Amino acid sequence: MWTGTELLIWGGVEDSQGQEAGDGAAYDPATRAWTPMPASPLSPRNTAFAVWTGTRALFWGGGNGSLTPLPDGASYDPASRTWAMLPAAPLRPDAEDRQAIVWTGTQMVVIQPEGGAAFDPATSSWTTVPALPQVAGWQPFAIGAEWTGSEVITWVASRSPDGGLRYSACSWWPGSPAWTSLPRLPNVGYFPFGTAAPFGGRLLFLGGSSCPPGASCPVQDFFDGAWVDPSSGMWTSLPDKFSGGSGPAVWTGSAMVVFAAKAGASTGPLYRPADIPAGAAAAFDASTGVWTDLARCPISDLTNASLAWTGRQLIVATMNNESGQTPQVEMLS
């Protein structure tokens, strides 16, 4: 995550054997130097939710080597270089693999089907979040969520006893006693599990698949997307635009920059050409709906890359076999 002056990376997978990491480091783009973070009170984990509050970094959840979700978290203050455990959350332990987490600017909201909780770092306290709307006979098995700037939009994948799939979406204003159901997604086979960002009062999704979060799926292709307008609850599919995806993406405030994990990004047909070089990237301009190819990133494999937009530069950091134990970092201005 970007703090305003440095990039913080903590946790993840530290070797090809899949061993979870419990350490981290801070990268200063001005000096191009890494500084190890002090030991964390958290156990090693991968895919923890991380957010910058303005003064502290919050790390919550994630999973361990046995794929067990971890229901705890800690805050890190880079000014004092100190950690503090977060208080226990009023969450159902059996629902940890069916949750989504968003940052509202003041609270970290953990959403679960039967009810969630919101953590306020200013008071270091949790408040309850209402249960999601559910349809009798349908069991939620995966959810996702994003913050629009004023409300939380959550989408849910549910399964019936006979194996049928149902996709739904709802919205919640912090402090409201209940969620409001939104119209169905634009395509019953589409699940907005790419990268999302608020823009112009709407929520932009790039990437998607019938394979929802929590399932064992290949890396998603960013070849399509959708807008959702919270004021009307309507979903609108974007025209198919080929970005080459299959890799990480980052929002700059006006454009979505998409990389390929091991193949490039360019406008073109629905299926990616085989001759696009690894590390190629493209940016989607949310105001015009146009893709623009960017300079190629020298890092060859971005499968587990960390991205950060500083306001002036895009930082790409990753560990691969060629770099040994030193993370590779590239910056695009």
Whether 221 maps to a domain, the answer reads: yes
Whether 222 maps to a domain, the answer reads: yes
Structural domain of residue 196, as residue ranges? 88-238
Question: Residue 180: pLDDT above 70?
Answer: yes
Give CA–CA dist 307/317, Å, rounded. 7
**Residue 168 phi, psi (nearest 5):** -145, 165
pLDDT digits (tens, 9 = 90+) for 225-239: 788 888 887 888 776
Q: Determine the 3-state secondary structure of 321 from DSSP.
A: helix
Give CA–CA dist 245/177, Å, rounded. 39
Q: In total, how many domains does the chain have?
A: 1
Q: Could you tell me whether strands 152-159 and 139-147 are parallel, antiparallel, or unpaired per DSSP bridges?
A: antiparallel
Whether 219 maps to a domain, the answer reads: yes
Q: What is the CATH number of the domain that holds 144?
A: 2.120.10.80
Higher pLDDT, 48 or 178: 178
Burial class (CB in 10 A: 0-12, 13-18, 19+), 36: exposed
Whether 258 maps to a domain, the answer reads: no
Question: Residue 43: pLDDT above 70?
Answer: yes
- The pTM assigned to this predicted structure is 0.86
166 near 218, Cβ under 8 Å?
no
pLDDT digits (tens, 9 = 90+) for 237-256: 776 655 555 677 888 989 88
Question: Residue 101: pLDDT above 80?
Answer: yes
Higher pLDDT, 164 or 116: 116
Whether 189 maps to a domain, the answer reads: yes
Specify the pLDDT at position 270.
47
Which CA distances in Å does 211 have to 192, 216, 313, 318? 10, 8, 33, 26
Whether 296 maps to a domain, the answer reads: no
Q: Percentage of the chain with pLDDT > 90?
A: 31
Whether 73 maps to a domain, the answer reads: no
Higher pLDDT, 94 or 288: 288
Token output for 258: 């998409």
Whether 169 maps to a domain, the answer reads: yes
